[in-house]
Structure 1
Amino acid sequence: MTVPALLVLGNVNVDLVLGEVDGWPAVGTEVMVDRSEMRPGGSAGNTALALSGMKVPHRMIASVGDDPNGAWLSGRFDQASTEWIVEPCETTLTVGIVHKGGDRVFFTTPGHLLRASLENLIERLPEASGENAFALISGGFLMPGIEAGTIELLSALAARGWRTAIDPGWPPAGWTEGNKQRMFEWISAADISLINAEEAKGLSGQDDLEAAVGQLVERVGPSHTLVVKDGSQGAHAYAAGAHVHAASPAVDVIDTVGAGDTFNAAFLAALAKGRTTLAEALAHGTDIAARAISTFPRRYCGS
């Protein structure tokens, strides 16, 4: 069987999305919301769903729990594109509260993500199918076993011919000095890093995004591709001393949960085609993400 040019590794969990709320309610009160949706999620899960929605061949290797939520969750993905590692525990659940304007906050239970095993993942890694094959590691900060072994995982992927990308997300403990050092080590070992504007500011310790990006670009060096996703302002990419920006189409936002993961899917899918410029890949990412966050149920376009 031919291995697709896109490999997705990382966190998949059940998402329960509720909204919208206007401000944060007082403790002990009850709030009625207009909409709820139980859907498959997690950073890696959202990326795989977007790839399926775009009809882009891919493979995802991820874990679930052995409870009813795990059975429901795994059944929501394209089985031909997914390899599951079933853990003997409850499946992780994330509750996302959407605020007016599209911002959101997440509450996540530990569940199966705490048991995700580096060894189980590495032994399932396929050989890359060609020079434009990309492997993405998503949500590493939520999986202690993967977090501790990310350098080893990146090395194993490179040894199998994959070009590597990381989007570890926001560390639950915040941007401690240890987490900053760990992130920079991952960046040094990867080809591409995909972070959002708030993560860029947290990682750099700068409140101003322009200053944050300037510091990060100097730190990561010209051989690494740094992508910064900035919501309605679009996305930026920095590589080989060049800066590329793609504006985001103006849309009526329904909810932004998984927007960055959808961008990752479309951006890497464009690069995997080959003969695609960084600017074209960046624009493809912003276009697909904008469509996803402005449709319900979500729709994707492109290929």
Structure 2
Amino acid sequence: MGGLPALPTPGSEVYADRLTLAAGGGAYITAAYLVARGRRAGLAALLPAEPFGAAIADELAGSGIDLSACTAAAPGAEPQVTVAMIVDGERAFVTRRAGLAVPATLAAAIGSGRYRHLHLGELATLAEAPQVVALARAAGLSVSADCAWDAAVLARADLPALLAGVDVFLPNRVEAEALARHAPLADHAPLVVIKDGAAGAEAIRGATALHRPALATRVVDTVGAGDAFNAGFLDAWLGGAALADCLDAGAASAAMAVGRIGGARGLLEDARTMAPRRAAR
């Protein structure tokens, strides 16, 4: 929901001037932006039952993402739904979680030999299924993880141990500050990348930190911007780029995200019209 004058307070009601129904989730949006950058990407997820399955089917089919590791929820299964409320370009979320975060197809996909990297869209997935990192490592995959706000997960004192085996960890500034209450950020992963909106992004590797600015751009909707940053950064990182160039690639993808409405719907077509795609790798 966008165009809100303010977030609602208890006992009050506010009115949005637009409503968009779209596929979401950090893993999906990151994969969509990777594909838009010309890199092949797959998604392992449980797709919702009706009526939401039909509502997002065309978007998923047009995303260019390999959906072979996705499975459909049983008829009547409760969907996971997130309501994003947007005020002046900033957003707040209400999410109803349902089912397991990791589909039964993930282990087979990791061991298939088709992939070289595993990206986890939120720490809650890792908390629920910590074995996936070891599976990925055994199959020769590198691993990255976003954080995503979850107060219960962020309160855990064992997060550095939980993240053991993750190569790149990508929290936002608010999440990073919560994490730092338990242990120095550099203890969480070999490379920690902090996304800080209009202030840019910072990469921390051991005792070394590198900051790069965000790109100046008109902000329409910030939903999915962090996931888009992940895609740009990881695309460059997987290509062996210098760290500064990885941060700049993340900033470029984030700038594209904030200039459009709603996650990744229609992204591939937008990317084709904005710039020639690189040869798929």
Query: Per the shorter chain, which TM-score range?
Result: 0.7 to 0.9
Are 1:19 and 2:2 counterparts?
yes
Partner SS, residue 8 of structure 2: coil
Deviation at 1:238, TM superposition (A): 1.6
Rounded Cα–Cα distance in structure 1 between residues aligned with 2:123 and 2:106: 13
> Residue in 1 aligned with 2:254?
289
- Which residues of 2 match residues 127-138 of structure 1 at below 5 A? 127-128=112-113, 133-138=116-121
Rounded Cα–Cα distance in structure 2 between residues aligned with 1:286 and 1:280: 10
Q: 1:106 aligns with which of 93, 97, 108?
A: 93
TM-score of the pair, normalised by structure 1 = 0.78
Deviation at 1:124, TM superposition (A): 2.7
TM-score of the pair, normalised by structure 2 = 0.83
Cα deviation digits, residues 189-233 of structure 1 (max 9, x gap): 211111110001111129xxxxx9xx312x347xx0111111111
> Residue in 2 aligned with 1:97?
85
8 Å contact 1:267–1:284 — kept in the other structure?
yes
Rounded Cα–Cα distance in structure 2 between residues aligned with 1:117 and 1:287: 30
Q: 2:33 aligns with which of 39, 47, 50?
A: 50
Sort the Cα spacing of 1:165 and 1:117 in 2 relative to 1 into closer, same or farther, 3 A.
closer
> Residue in 2 aligned with 1:216?
185
8 Å contact 1:235–1:246 — kept in the other structure?
yes
Letter paired with 1:170: W
> Residue in 2 aligned with 1:234?
200
Rounded Cα–Cα distance in structure 2 between residues aligned with 1:128 and 1:240: 31
Rounded Cα–Cα distance in structure 2 between residues aligned with 1:60 and 1:226: 23
Cα deviation digits, residues 272-301 of structure 1 (max 9, x gap): 223x11111110001110121023476556
Deviation at 1:240, TM superposition (A): 5.0
Cα deviation digits, residues 79-111 of structure 1 (max 9, x gap): 6612212232122111100011x2111111123
Letter paired with 2:231: A
Are 1:277 and 2:242 counterparts?
yes
> Residue in 2 aligned with 1:123?
108
Sort the Cα spacing of 1:49 and 1:80 in 2 relative to 1 into closer, same or farther, 3 A.
closer
Rounded Cα–Cα distance in structure 2 between residues aligned with 1:292 and 1:168: 19
Partner SS, residue 201 of structure 1: helix
- Which residues of 2 match residues 37-186 of structure 1 at below 5 A? 37-77=20-60, 78=63, 81-83=66-68, 84-88=70-74, 89-100=77-88, 102-111=89-98, 114-117=99-102, 119-128=104-113, 133-141=116-124, 143=125, 147-150=127-130, 152-173=131-152, 175-176=154-155, 179-181=156-158, 183-186=159-162
Letter paired with 1:23: A
Sort the Cα spacing of 1:29 and 1:264 in 2 relative to 1 into closer, same or farther, 3 A.
same
8 Å contact 2:34–2:41 — kept in the other structure?
yes
Rounded Cα–Cα distance in structure 2 between residues aligned with 1:80 and 1:231: 26
Partner SS, residue 46 of structure 1: helix
- Identical-residue share of aligned pairs (%): 27
Deviation at 1:249, TM superposition (A): 0.9
Sort the Cα spacing of 1:164 and 1:85 in 2 relative to 1 into closer, same or farther, 3 A.
same
Deviation at 1:53, TM superposition (A): 2.6
Higher strand share: 1
Rounded Cα–Cα distance in structure 1 between residues aligned with 2:38 and 2:165: 30
Q: 2:218 aligns with which of 247, 252, 263?
A: 252
CA RMSD across the alignment: 2.5
Cα deviation digits, residues 2-52 of structure 1 (max 9, x gap): xxxxxxxxxxxxxxxx12223333444432322221111111111122123
Are 1:190 and 2:169 counterparts?
no
Deviation at 1:239, TM superposition (A): 1.8
Alignment gaps of 5+ in structure 2: none
8 Å contact 1:118–1:149 — kept in the other structure?
no
Alignment gaps of 5+ in structure 1: 1-17, 207-211
Rounded Cα–Cα distance in structure 1 between residues aligned with 2:141 and 2:204: 21
Sort the Cα spacing of 1:118 and 1:69 in 2 relative to 1 into closer, same or farther, 3 A.
closer
Sort the Cα spacing of 1:119 and 1:82 in 2 relative to 1 into closer, same or farther, 3 A.
closer
Rounded Cα–Cα distance in structure 1 between residues aligned with 2:19 and 2:157: 35
Rounded Cα–Cα distance in structure 2 between residues aligned with 1:96 and 1:47: 17
